């Protein structure tokens, strides 16, 4: 499968961290404004389906004022995006809130026989957000692909980190800090989920971290794999999550399983005992995944068949392009290598026959 068609490769843009926060996204936001507005039609249709009196309706009422409660620099960045796109601020906040709750993904960290580390992921998004019976696609997933962008976050003209983002989303789901660590986030389903944390934030709790904002802080400021692991394992979160990290040395790979309050488990690479890769979907590693969404077992089998001796980004791309790891929700596949600060991503589509998730 690698390399995929040239037209599927995602273009890169620069985010200049030396600019005032309200101006950092102006150029990209203006360029992608029509596609962002088109995508928001699907998001608002989902929100509206809950009706008056629901939690979503309550959240929607407070979305624009919510921006002023966010930590620096995120409030100003969202306001700048709203101004550049001529989209109401509440809708821009809604766009950023959604990624705390609806990201369904597969992430892989693996090392080759020399100890070189590779990190890759599928970003699956749009579950339950409008199934198009005619085309066998998820409506929101189709609208998201046109706004996938690679970002080179720079300060003083030099790269601080790189990420794959949906244009207009200011948090981080996939990123690499060159010569330091790689990162991806998968959603963790929990009864004590993000909605509860969001309500607590609206009601005034400020001792919890938004996942996307915590990871921005981590990529900007953490100076090692160990420091990044400590930050992501110990901060109180608005929503539960899986944080997947890769480092620069043999054995530096971890899946951090998070409740909102603490790390429940940290599973690490252990190449000396045969654990040369980690693969995480959306279920705790000590539990069996449900039969209706078992991407873990075929993913593990593909990695084992690939073997450690063949570990590289093209082969891992093939694993992530294999059904059902690849499914109708998959928007992109990202490939990262920490030593060179390498990041490339490709839009993905799953041809029929293909499962919805």
Q: What are the DSSP E strand ranges found in 128-213?
A: 131-132, 137-138, 148-155, 158-166, 174-177, 181-187
Separation of alpha carbons 153 and 27, rounded Å: 14
**Which pLDDT score is estimated for 152?**
98
Catalytic residue among 105, 302, 350, 354: 105
Q: What is the mean pLDDT of each run of 10 residues along the chain (357 residues)?
A: 94 98 98 95 70 50 82 95 94 82 84 98 83 86 96 98 97 97 92 68 77 94 98 92 97 96 97 98 95 96 98 98 96 97 97 92
SS3 content of the chain, % helix, strand, coil (to 5): 35, 25, 35
- Pick from 137, 138, 139, 163: nearest CA to 150: 163
**Which pLDDT score is estimated for 190?**
72
**Which pLDDT score is estimated for 58?**
55
Helix-helix angle 74-85:26-48, to 10 degrees: 90
- Pick from 169, 67, 150, 108: nearest CA to 346: 150
Cβ neighbours of residue 251 closer than 8 Å, sequence gap 6 or more: 111, 268, 269, 270, 271, 272
In a 10 Å sphere around its CB, with 0-12 CB exposed, 13-18 middle and 19+ buried, how is residue 290 labelled? exposed
Could you confirm whether 105 is annotated as catalytic? yes
- Tokens representing residue 335 in the block: 């490939």
**Which pLDDT score is estimated for 53?**
41
- Tokens representing residue 219 in the block: 């990529």
In a 10 Å sphere around its CB, with 0-12 CB exposed, 13-18 middle and 19+ buried, how is residue 189 labelled? exposed
């Amino acid at each position: 499968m690698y390399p995929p068609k040239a037209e599927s490769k995602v273009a890169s843009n620069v985010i200049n961290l030396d600019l005032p926060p309200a101006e950092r996204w102006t150029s990209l936001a203006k360029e992608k404004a029509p596609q962002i507005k088109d995508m928001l039609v699907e998001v608002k249709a989902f929100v509206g389906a809950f009706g008056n009196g629901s939690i979503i309706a309550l959240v929607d009422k407070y979305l624009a004022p919510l921006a002023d409660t966010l930590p620096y620099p995120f409030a100003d960045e969202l306001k700048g995006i709203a101004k550049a796109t001529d989209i109401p601020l509440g809708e821009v906040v809604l766009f950023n809130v959604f990624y705390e709750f609806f990201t369904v993904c597969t992430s892989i960290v693996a090392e080759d026989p020399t100890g070189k580390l590779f990190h890759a992921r599928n970003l699956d998004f749009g579950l339950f957000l409008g199934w198009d019976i005619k085309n066998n696609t998820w409506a929101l997933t189709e609208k998201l692909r046109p706004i996938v962008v690679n970002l080179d976050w720079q300060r003083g003209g030099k790269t601080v980190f790189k990420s794959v983002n949906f244009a207009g989303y200011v948090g981080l789901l996939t990123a690499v800090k060159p010569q330091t660590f790689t990162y991806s986030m998968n959603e963790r389903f929990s009864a004590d989920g993000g909605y509860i944390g969001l309500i607590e934030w609206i009601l005034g709790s400020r001792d919890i971290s938004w996942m996307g904002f915590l990871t921005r802080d981590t990529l900007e400021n953490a100076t090692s794999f160990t420091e990044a692991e400590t930050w992501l394992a110990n901060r109180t979160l608005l929503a539960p999550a899986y944080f997947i990290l890769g480092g620069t040395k043999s054995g530096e790979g971890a899946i951090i399983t998070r409740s909102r309050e603490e790390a429940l488990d940290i599973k690490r690479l252990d190449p000396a005992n045969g654990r040369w890769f980690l693969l995480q979907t959306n279920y705790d590693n000590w539990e069996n995944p449900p039969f209706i969404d078992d991407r873990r077992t075929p993913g593990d089998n593909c990695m084992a068949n690939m073997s450690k001796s063949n570990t590289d980004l093209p082969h891992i791309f093939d694993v992530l392009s294999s059904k059902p790891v690849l499914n109708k929700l998959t928007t992109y596949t990202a490939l990262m290598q920490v030593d060179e600060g390498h990041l490339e991503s490709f839009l993905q589509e799953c041809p029929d026959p293909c499962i919805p998730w």
